[in-house]
Amino acid sequence: MSSLRTDNDTWDIASSVGATAVMVAAARAAETDRPEPLIRDPYAKILVADAGTGAWEYMLDDEFVAKVAETDSEIASMFEHMGNYQAVRTHFFDAFFTAAADAGIRQVVILASGLDSRAFRLPWPAGTTVFEIDQPKVLEYKATTLALHDVGPTADRREVAVDLRQDWPTALVDAGFDTTKPTAWLAEGLLMYLPAESQDRLFTQITELSAAGSRVAAESMGIHAEDRRERMRERFTALTAQFDVEPMDITELTYEDPDRADVAVWLDAHGWGAAKVDSQDEMRRLGRFVEIADSDGQSFSTFVTAERV
């Protein structure tokens, strides 16, 4: 269970859960600069540049990563693993949206969208509406930053500035969401920041809003050994102290609920037909798996997709 989260906490892009979006965008920027990238996000570096979150921006600094490798090779391997994981995850969910669009779905909802740039970088078919739900300050930062660089969306993008713990379904409908149309939903980088009961409520609300033929994709987190989590916290703390980088411990923001529902099982039981892919298997399939010495052998997550029947 998180020690920093409260029922009514809020954040901007440089604090708490909001800052994790910068980490993800930094990973996308780094991947984009690789010789043969899995994904291309030309806007990720723009979004990271002025975010002011300290540690995560160093993911774009090759000299910093090289110094880390000299100090702690296992941490360097973990950085590589984390970057590869983000690239593979983005690639998987990009493909989900491509398949949904090919199936004729023209209504998209990205939950807790953070610095997700799919509304700007994916080639959406004409008539597609992309709804982005997140905290008001997060959406404001993204829209303002991209507008300053003359970046516009490739679909009808609509912001829904509301906390997912509030009445977001009403806010979504008020923004023009049509409950009679099939929808492609995405919960990427979200569920681990919700308590178990909030996860169930979220999928109940999605189900109530979804017409037949709707699709949903989610990143479902596993429970990992606390002793390993503590060892990694200690090593990252030492590393950030050595390089005078402000530390950030994601585990302080997440909820490790042992009774959290298996997303695929939950969806199968509530009117969806679900499938899931182990993230390690997907990383191996794409040639991006990096072995980490201090590992509990479990995948970081499972990628789940489902269709409303």
**Helical pair 62-71 and 226-242, crossing angle rounded to 10 deg:** 120
What is the architecture, at CATH level 2, of domain 17-308? 3-Layer(aba) Sandwich (3.40)
Beta bridge mates, 301:
221
Compute the distance between CA of residue 169 and CA of residue 283 in angstroms, rounded to an integer. Answer: 34
What percent of the chain shows pLDDT beyond 90?
Answer: 61
Closest CA to 214 of 266, 273, 161: 273
Q: With a cut of 50, say whether residue 276 has pLDDT above it.
A: yes
What are the helix and strand counts (H, E) for the chain? 11, 7
- In sequence order, what are the residues at sequence separation of 6 or more whose Cβ sits closer than 8 angstroms to the Cβ of residue 216? 184, 185, 186, 187, 203, 206, 210, 267, 272, 304, 305, 306, 308
Q: Structure pTM?
A: 0.86
Evaluated on CA atoms 152, 158, 159, 164, the torsion sign reads negative
Return the number of other C-beta atoms located less than 10 Å from residue 232's C-beta. 18
The pLDDT value given to residue 93: 98
**Helical pair 136-148 and 16-32, crossing angle rounded to 10 deg:** 30
**Helical pair 73-102 and 62-71, crossing angle rounded to 10 deg:** 130
The pLDDT value given to residue 2: 42
Could you tell me the residue ranges of all domains in the chain?
Answer: 17-308
Pairwise pLDDT comparison (282 vs 255), residue with the higher score = 282
